[in-house]
Chains A and B, each alone.
Chain A
């Protein structure tokens, strides 16, 4: 009998070893797969039990905070957004049942205090509840309010950037929504509204035709490549052949032979179409790349909430210099059957910012600093150059040309009393030439710009112009920021 008993014990050891084997399979070897399982919501639930840090405007105003609900082990924290609709897209939201967007999503690790392994081990030893860090943004609450009020619920977007630092001072997309309502059924309605699409951040996600504001990019390429100067004379008669097809000026106006400066002041399509043809596709695309086109903006914001700007064909593929697009029409912010130029308001604000900052494009950012619960600054973001788009000289020439636009050209409505403003208007025909996309981009003060801006309004009636409708909105926001 004893032999059998010993064998039985050996079998028990084998069975128990199997148990250890399977336990290590789930706890260690396949743990990552299990954590990534779609059915596994444990990490989300745990995240709810940690108070997320605050999100603040640049002046310290709280834009998002966590409030406790329930008590004891069942205590959870829910996000509230004191400013309601004001930062719906930029700050975004974070809710267990809806996921997260915007800064809430991009700074999730910091807000949940996850980035610091050591301090979390210590706080665990001290049995302290883990706590997230606060994120201070670069956003100016007054400028944001002005921008949102200026848009007034119309479909459109406004982005304001500090050219010398890349700090985003305002980023508004309209229509917006109240992030506090995200957990309710109301949000499901908004989410399925295919017409107004209030959950889309038009400032970073939309593909808009830039119209004549794109001439700033063309002009930068023309001047900096050395092929043109502001005084270069080009024939501005309407109906000239561009890419073999006649191109008309706004209202069919003829301008005769004029300088590039005059051609920008009056937004002469034929001139800029020819300039585009002469600098060629390669050069134009090269300068677009320097401005940040053709890749996602380098903004500290979730990637899938941003779109790259560039020349896109019917399949929305981004074209480069080798693709045979109609460079003359792209140069004036349109395009042809092969591809059309499509931009985000953020990208156009960056174009204005780069010109204003002496040709130096600063990397845009929304986060100023991350502050630990104990008040220590964990991370502080310094200004960073993204690219030198053009020489300071070319930028100076272009700035002067853009100043003329606001002084005496199409953009006079953007003028501010006592502060010189540079800018460019745009009016793009969309929806089969039935509606207009209106634009203004610019910066002020011209000599030492504190703000660069892009304003756009979608689907405006025919007959409206960027200079009349978009430019005044830009003036309001710039004024607020310069105050």
Chain B
């Protein structure tokens, strides 16, 4: 069976999900059924088949599972959004069309993703510009305390969704060049005595200083890990000039935390960066240094900047009455948890979750975007929610698989970075909704309502498919040519 036929087969469960989902929602809405709304499902399926044919024509060797998985997630999202608000589902279907235009355009214009390497600084500048845009007067707009959106006339979009792709492209190409320079070829392991001197001494010294200053256990651990990582990094005597851009990335992440006020995107970007750094250099010490610097910065801001501080308090003690009533307080996360509690193991069933107060006010704020996972847990229960997470995990596995089979460093890093940032985004928003980490306003890829999210993630998918097509084509050629 060819890859493309497998892809087509993969769309069968998607069509089943769409039909069953729409049928279930329609059944629970006996009063206000209109035939037009049900057609969104059909339109969606037609679009999927079209996209499949397009991939068949342009990227015949691309991974056969990525697209069906994305379609499955999008179908999931469409049904949920339809259940929340039929009008939003119509818009989401529209956005899906626009997203597919971008998807096809990416594939048509970017025959070879290596072209991107040439424009890496342009792309980096564009990415940072996108991130800064929400703070620019006139076009920036604040959504729930964070500067995430840009409004130009009637169009509102969230630049961070696109910036994540730009920054990953830049980092992948930058690290491919400098990864080797950052670290030397593997040094021989040191004798134990020397190791002790090199790691234990500075660590002990920092530990003593930290204890003497009484900075608290969390900060102490951060400092010690940072010192040990630093020592390991310095041992390889890296050329300092290459650290500039890395410090810049850290600076950007801190900037986002402070000015964009978005812990979620900040975490997502920096996490993606660390993942790429690790894959490019194979040095845990670099990751340790970066992670401690990020956490250190975040901890510092959490104690000095009031809005970050409130986010943390809300996360730690959401049931506090004062925080619950406060503006931008814990109401959202508490309602999210209540909605999940209603779901239970087997759920309430499609269309059964309580979303509105009798007065018509929403009980669950941002049910269609940030909190859509809570609605899913409510209506599909633990089983449904776990299924969704599994779908994301499968998507991630195909992304990493693409990185594994890719032939060159840039392709590997690009696929890794895109997949990592995608998986991190899932973790950040679901983790926020389930109170693993503080709740922040990023979208659930392919599922949440939102044009920027759909378009950006379809472009991300297109890039992954291009990398995959190249990689698998090369492999196939090698196999056919009998080259060993």
- Give the B-binding residues of A (Cβ under 8 A): 1-9, 12-13, 15-16, 18-20, 22-28, 30-32, 34-35, 37, 39-40, 42, 45-46, 48-49, 70-74, 76, 96, 124, 127
Contacts and interface: CB of A to CB of B under 8 A. Distances in A.
Given A5-B416, A19-B434, A42-B354, 8 more contacts: A6-B404, A12-B396, A16-B389, A23-B382, A23-B434, A26-B340, A26-B434, A28-B382
A39 B338 CA distance: 9
B341 A96 contact: no
A127 B354 CA distance: 16
Contacts of B31: 71-72
B400 A20 contact: no
Given A12-B423, A13-B393, A26-B377, A1 B344 contact: no
A201 B84 CA distance: 45
A127 B23 CA distance: 12
B324 A39 contact: yes
A18 B431 contact: yes
Nearest to B386: A20
B349 A124 contact: yes
Contacts of A12: 393, 396, 400, 420, 423
Contact of A2 (B381, B404, B430): B404
Contacts of A70: 358, 360
B334 to A, nearest CB: 6
B358 A19 contact: no
Contact of B343 (A20, A22, A27, A76): A27
Interface residues of B, number: 58
A259 to B, nearest CB: 67
B313 interface: no
Given A9-B396, A9-B397, A39-B334, A23 B386 contact: yes
A469 B121 CA distance: 100
Contact of B427 (A16, A34, A48): A16
Contacts of A37: 319, 334, 338
10 contacts: A9-B397, A15-B423, A16-B426, A26-B340, A27-B341, A34-B340, A35-B342, A39-B324, A42-B339, A127-B30
Which 9 interchain pairs have the tightest Cβ spacing?
A: A34-B341, A22-B434, A26-B340, A31-B341, A76-B358, A4-B279, A9-B400, A27-B382, A127-B27
Contacts of A127: 27-28, 30
A19 B344 contact: no
A18 B338 CA distance: 19
Interface in B368-382: 377, 381-382
Contacts of B360: 70, 74
B356 A23 contact: no
Contact of A1 (B381, B386, B412, B431): B412
B356 A74 contact: yes
A28 B385 CA distance: 12
B436 A22 contact: yes
A153 B417 CA distance: 79
B354 to A, nearest CB: 5
| Residue of A19, A22, A32, A49 with highest tally of chain B CB at under 10 A | A19
A379 B202 CA distance: 78
B293 interface: no
B435 interface: yes
A46 B382 contact: no
B32 interface: yes
A19 B278 CA distance: 23
A64 B334 CA distance: 35
Interface string B25-39: 001111110000000
B345 A28 contact: yes
Given A4-B278, A13-B393, A42-B354, A27 B338 contact: no
B349 A27 contact: no
| Residue of B282, B319, B393 with highest tally of chain A CB at under 10 A | B393
A31 B344 contact: yes
B132 interface: no
Contacts of A1: 279-280, 282, 409, 412-413
A32 B319 CA distance: 15
A250 to B, nearest CB: 58
B256 interface: no
Contacts of A23: 340, 377, 382, 385-386, 389, 430, 434
Contacts of A45: 354, 357-358, 363
Nearest to B430: A19
A46 B354 contact: yes
A5 B404 contact: yes
B403 interface: yes
A45 to B, nearest CB: 6
Nearest to B352: A124
A14 B341 CA distance: 23
Contact of A8 (B334, B338, B400, B431): B400
Contacts of B412: 1, 5
A96 B357 CA distance: 11
B353 to A, nearest CB: 9
B157 interface: no
Contacts of B396: 9, 12, 16
A40 B434 CA distance: 17
B403 A5 contact: yes
Contact of A96 (B29, B339, B358, B382): B358
B400 A27 contact: no
B434 to A, nearest CB: 4
A378 B385 CA distance: 38
Nearest to B435: A22
A8 B345 contact: no
A1 B32 CA distance: 56
Nearest to A2: B404
B310 to A, nearest CB: 18
A337 B31 CA distance: 68
A30 B338 CA distance: 10
Contact of A22 (B321, B344, B431): B431
Contacts of B32: 72
A18 B275 CA distance: 19
A8 B337 contact: no
Contacts of B356: 73-74
Contact of B279 (A8, A28, A32): A8
Contacts of B389: 16, 19-20, 23
Contacts of A71: 31
Contacts of A124: 349, 352
B392 interface: yes
B400 A18 contact: no
A6 B420 CA distance: 12
A40 B319 CA distance: 10
Interface string B418-442: 0010010011001100111000000
| Residue of B338, B356, B400 with highest tally of chain A CB at under 10 A | B338
B325 to A, nearest CB: 10
Contacts of B413: 1
B392 to A, nearest CB: 7
A9 B349 CA distance: 33
A255 B409 CA distance: 118
Contacts of A7: 278
A199 to B, nearest CB: 25
A35 B279 contact: no
A20 B341 CA distance: 14
Contacts of A24: 382, 386
B358 A48 contact: yes
A7 B403 CA distance: 13
Contacts of A28: 344-345, 382
Contacts of B434: 19, 22-23, 25-26
Contacts of B352: 124
A1 B408 CA distance: 10
Contact of A27 (B27, B319, B381, B420): B381
Contacts of B403: 5
Nearest to B396: A12
Given A19-B434, A27-B344, A35-B341, A5 B385 contact: no
B338 A40 contact: yes
